[in-house]
Structure 1
Amino acid sequence: MSAQQKNTLNLRDKLMISSGTFSAFFIRQGVGVLAIPYYQMTLAVDPFLLAAAMMIPMLLASLLGPWVGQFSDTYQQKYGHRRPFIVFGALITAICYGAIWQVPVGWQGDNQILYFIFAYSLFCLAAEFFLIPYTCLVYEATENSQERVNLLALNSIVGKVCSLVYQWAFPLAQMSIFGSLFMGIKWVGWGIAIIFIALAGMLPAFWQQSTHATRSEYVPASRPPRDLIKNLDLVLANPAFVLLLLITFSQFFISVFAASMDYYLIVYYMQTGDLTEGAYWKGILSTAYAGFGLLAVPLILKLVASCGRLNGFVIVYVITAVGGAVKWFVFTPGAEYWLLLDAMLGCIVWASMAILLHSLVADTAANRTMHATNLNGVYVSVHNIVTQICMSGAMLISGFTLNQIGFDAQLAGQQNVSTISAMRVILSIGTVLSALLAIFAIFRLKNHQNLIETAAIT
């Protein structure tokens, strides 16, 4: 079998591998989409406490990531070194996800938040044992950079399909067929856990058994040193990888913090405090993001073919900066249908993070200039730590900021004018600053092209 054949994935291979993206998506996005409208807006848990409760377990669990990554790099048995982690990680994570929504509604707020912290902590720990090995499996599925881009493009499409439905989770839980919102949350929570996290998450593990490749092609060629600190030093000494982490920071901290204001502006400014109507328009916005995001995937592939990944990335962030300026005018009362324009301008960057950023991380990890062994798990875990720190930090700062600018859920649509103005500034200006920082990092990355596996990236 030729090297080209071994590095080519057929459609069946790609579909089995990409099914894990359903699980990865709902692990990363499925808690916040229900926790904010349920724990905060319905059960009236303090926004700062909820943000802290979502940040600290995620952050602590991510610190376990390098050990999980190195363990999965070196783990060897007849079922392969990624497959057992993926199967048991998906199953246990699904059980923990369903448990998050079983909080007794009669408890006091302090007890409810303690329950959330306990259940969510178990969820975050279990998730590490799925997310890191699954991402490594995606990176290792082929050594061909273009084929990897195509696989990540399919993953992005799956992610956009998830985006079409996930924001409707809370409106679905509000339907009368469940009898009450509290029962609706339980049913929807377990539905997500079983279908999207457990079943979809375990499927990629069975791909190795039926693919044409042999097991030896998916285990490390040489066992990495067991000194985790030395491995971390090697990874963090790679300047190209550090710049990719800077792009990650710009998107998952600055941009996520800015975007955290859109739900509040829709509910408390555009819909004057009507949570049901606000959730509906938030669903419309997220659905539009997903729909336009699907259309953005072939555009990104076209940019890669014509301009290369780095130049294509710059174009993406220029569009994002323009979209950030437009947000100032879109998120105003009576402009609901203009939310579609926001989605059109903002969707491409998220698709690019799934396709361009991950392909660059994978190629950087595969490059042997900085190290001679397979350290994919360590690279993935470090990138995951930075992503988790950024996202949890963005949530924490968001909750703190809401308190500082005077937000009060009890005021409904009567929020102070200064509160609404601050939200609009954060949403618009924050998005623009995020794009500018990413563009700076991409231009610096061009100076380190030799540390990325693929030559044709300019």
Structure 2
Amino acid sequence: MHGHRQKHHKTAARDRVGFGGKVAYGLGGLAENTMHNAVNNLVMPIYNIGFGVSPVLLGIAASIFRLWDAMTDPVMGVISDRTRTRWGRRRPYIVLGAICAGVLFAIIWWCPRGMSEIAYFTWFLVSALLFYTAFTVFGVPYLGLGYELSPDYHERTRVMSFRTWFASIGGILMQWLFWMTQRPVFDDTIEGIRTVAIGVGVVLIITGIAPGLFLRERPIPAAEERNTRSRINLASIASVFKVKPFLYIFGALISTVTGMFMVGMLGFYIIVYYLFAGDLGAASFVVGVSGSTYHVCCLLSVPLISWTSSRIGKKGALLIFIGLAVVATLLKLVLYTPENPYLHLIVIGMMAPGLSAVWTLLAAMNADVTDVDELERGVRREGSFGAIFNWTMKLGFAVCFLIAGLILEATGFDEALGGDQAEHTLLAMRILFSLVPAAGLLISMVLIALYPINEEKAYEVRAKLEAIRGEQEAAT
């Protein structure tokens, strides 16, 4: 009985983050998710369908700025870890990055009319490169701040749950951005996106600066100050991969991202050209409903994910919810049907908890890994681990977008045909849209099952760290 009781530790009052603090951190999640996904959601409808830019060119552009984004994240992580200012090492970057990202998001969509395809490609590439640089300046310190808000195994899950919850609110808003551009008040899609983009930029600034303004950073252990004196180099960045538990998180994340997003854009084309035979107006409403359903289900599932994790641990909870997502993605072949286009919402409702669990629990598990890193190396590197976590997703996105454009063309899709796409094209889209994500999620489940840190291990590591810190403080 004694061993059974030890499996459920109670969070000490000193380790809790207040409700207001969690809300402030969560608001940053709304900005983070919007920065991460809004460009992805809008690029094909605006630059492919609206401006006529080839999906292959757009895939090349997306892969370039995603690769840049991925390369700058680890550097920003080390910079954030080693920064010392009167306002903290994370907060100044969070505020600066949010403001710049809000302005640059609007610029992406304000390209002049009547340009050539190459000119549109260049505008998109350059403006997006600047935008994603600002996203890095904001996003890496933001995630690092979340890792260090509490040292408690369960409180970390609660903090990340607020991040996921607010990210889902941002996700709901994003699903209606294209629909907003189609409102009769605008003369055309281009006028619509220009107005909508300014509104999105304002939201990014307001929600993005909240964590930087209203949260305080935890004191840095005295022994870690030597971390500021070492040089930033490739070895210092890559050393996070020497922490073995992190390798399982890395593999699970990249397999999930690759599986889900390599064919993710096909969902838009399946809805428009398979469910609605090219009727862009009708499809835009269903795209909004579909995305909103996904994020509402994410919102509703976050408390359940947190509760399940507190009962059976992060790893067990994650395996259950990802398993549900595997079943859901296989059902796409049956439930995406023109006869009843809203039937596919069943798939969305089943997949949402699984992916919500991935973003919530993998982040919380990564926070636990930072304790193992401190125990083994004597430094706190939340920024570096958060950076590599983001880098993993962004590298996956970069590869996915490059491949996605090629996959779309390989299916035989031709935007000039409108609703008259070939039957084999639509069938290929549907098969890929179902089976590729299922494969990625199954690989992720295997890696998560091998992840070695459970609740008991996490509290054991923390106890050792507190003992070492006590000895160090006594020595000084």
TM-score under structure 2 length normalisation: 0.90
Divergent runs of 4+, >4 A:
217-220, 448-452
Given candidates 191, 201, 204, the residue that maps to 2:208 is: 201
The size of the alignment, in residue pairs, is: 448
TM-score under structure 1 length normalisation: 0.93
Shift of 1:12: 1.0
Counterpart check, 1:172 vs 2:175: no
1:411-436 CA distance string (max 9 Å, x none): 11211121111111111111221221
Larger CA deviation: 345-354 vs 184-193: 345-354
On the 8 A contact 2:78/2:237 being kept in 1, the answer is no
Shift of 1:305: 2.3
1:205-230 CA distance string (max 9 Å, x none): 1123xx5x7x6359984332334333
Q: Output aligned runs, 1:78-89, within 5 Å.
A: 78-89=86-97
Q: Quick one: distance in 2 between partners of 1:369 and 1:424? A: 48
Counterpart check, 1:216 vs 2:219: yes
Q: Quick one: distance in 2 between partners of 1:330 and 1:93? A: 38
Q: Output aligned runs, 1:8-157, within 5 Å.
A: 8-157=16-165
Q: Output aligned runs, 1:334-345, within 5 Å.
A: 334-345=339-350
Counterpart check, 1:269 vs 2:274: yes
Match of 1:396 in 2: 402
Shift of 1:382: 1.5
Given candidates 290, 302, 324, the residue that maps to 1:319 is: 324
Q: Quick one: distance in 2 between partners of 1:30 and 1:364? A: 30
Match of 1:380 in 2: 386
Shift of 1:199: 1.3
Shift of 1:165: 1.6
Q: Tell me, what secondary structure is at the counterpart of 2:52?
A: coil
1:278-298 CA distance string (max 9 Å, x none): 121111111111111112112
On the 8 A contact 2:64/2:398 being kept in 1, the answer is yes
On the 8 A contact 2:65/2:398 being kept in 1, the answer is no
Match of 2:285 in 1: 280
Q: Tell me, what secondary structure is at the counterpart of 1:273?
A: coil
Q: Quick one: distance in 1 between partners of 2:419 and 2:226? A: 60
Q: Quick one: distance in 2 between partners of 1:163 and 1:223? A: 40
Q: Quick one: distance in 2 between partners of 1:366 and 1:98? A: 39
On the 8 A contact 1:140/1:218 being kept in 2, the answer is no
On the 8 A contact 1:153/1:354 being kept in 2, the answer is no
On the 8 A contact 1:288/1:344 being kept in 2, the answer is yes
On the 8 A contact 1:268/1:274 being kept in 2, the answer is yes
Q: Quick one: distance in 2 between partners of 1:455 and 1:109? A: 59
Q: Quick one: distance in 2 between partners of 1:220 and 1:104? A: 54
Query: In angstroms, what is the RMSD of aligned CA positions?
Result: 2.0
Pair 1:56–1:342, CA change in 2 (3 A): same
Q: Quick one: distance in 1 between partners of 2:406 and 2:456? A: 39
Gapped regions of structure 2 (runs ≥ 5): 1-10, 462-476
Match of 2:436 in 1: 430
Given candidates 348, 363, 367, the residue that maps to 2:368 is: 363
On the 8 A contact 1:80/1:219 being kept in 2, the answer is no
